[in-house]
Amino acid sequence: MKVLIFAAGRGERMQPLTDSIPKALVPVGGRPLIVHHLERLAAAGLPQVVINCAYLRQVLRDEIGNGARWGVRVRWSDEGDEALETGGGMLRALPLLGRDPFIAVNADIYTHFDFGRLKDHPQGLAHLVLVPNPAHNRRGDFALEDGQVLSVAAGRLTFAGIGAYRPELVEGYRPGAFKLAPVLRTAIAHRQVSGEYYEGTWYDVGTPERLHEVDEVATHDG
């Protein structure tokens, strides 16, 4: 099973730190944020990785290379100077991901989630990992009922930026920039999205304040 890491964004809320490095390379616990993903993917037996890139893409590519230092094999989905958002980025990467289901994860999270748990998913078009709502997203994103993801307002949880997908989810869309969330909501309305609840370590590294908190956690983790 291949893995797509979304790493093309500018990280504007992290400026000025991200003026010179892409957010995926922000140091967390002494290592670039994306490296924590690569190490966990290797440990989970998921060495085939596709990374999308746009902003400061050459800096990212020079640092990560082919991924051999971390026991993975990296291929690059280059989006040029302007990122294609999550939906457009996923569509652009499909030729590298192939026809089988794949995992996708946001580069700008820190988590202990075992990616190997997703190897048997999805049964429908997508399978999402949901987490308790953090302070910056109290309203949540989606609800979860008997393993089915719903778009109802009550009982919403936060999408972790981790999921398993089938290429069919996005391959009918026109190439270009578009977000994944509306695509998922359409699939949810057709009951094609399953999910699971994860209560372990998970952080969205979206601001300097949250980066400081995550850095302390990661340093303690070793």
Q: Residue 144 CA to chain centroid, in angstroms? A: 19
Domain range for 103: 3-221
Name which of 103, 131, 92, 109 is nearest 11 in CA terms: 109
- pLDDT tens column, 57-68: 999 999 999 999
Query: Which pLDDT value is given to residue 13?
Result: 84
Q: Which residue has the higher pLDDT, 153 or 111?
A: 111
pLDDT of 129-154, one tens digit each? Answer: 999 999 999 999 999 999 999 999 88
Tokens of 76: 């690059």
> Average pLDDT in the 184-206 region?
97
pLDDT-derived band of residue 186, with 50, 70 and 90 as boundaries? very high
Question: Cβ distance 144 to 212 under 8 Å?
Answer: no
Q: What are residue 64's phi and psi, to 5 degrees?
A: -90, -35
pTM: 0.96
DSSP one-letter code for 66: T
What mean pLDDT, rounded, does the chain reach?
A: 95
What is the rounded average pLDDT of the residues 94-116?
97
How many structural domains does the chain have?
1
Q: Give me the pLDDT at residue 222, please.
A: 64
In whole angstroms, what is the distance from residue 74 CA to residue 71 CA? 10
Its sign, for the CA torsion 169, 174, 180, 183, is negative
* Percentage of the residues of the chain whose pLDDT score is greater than 70: 100
Assign residue 16 the CATH number of its domain.
Answer: 3.90.550.10
32, pLDDT greater than 90: yes
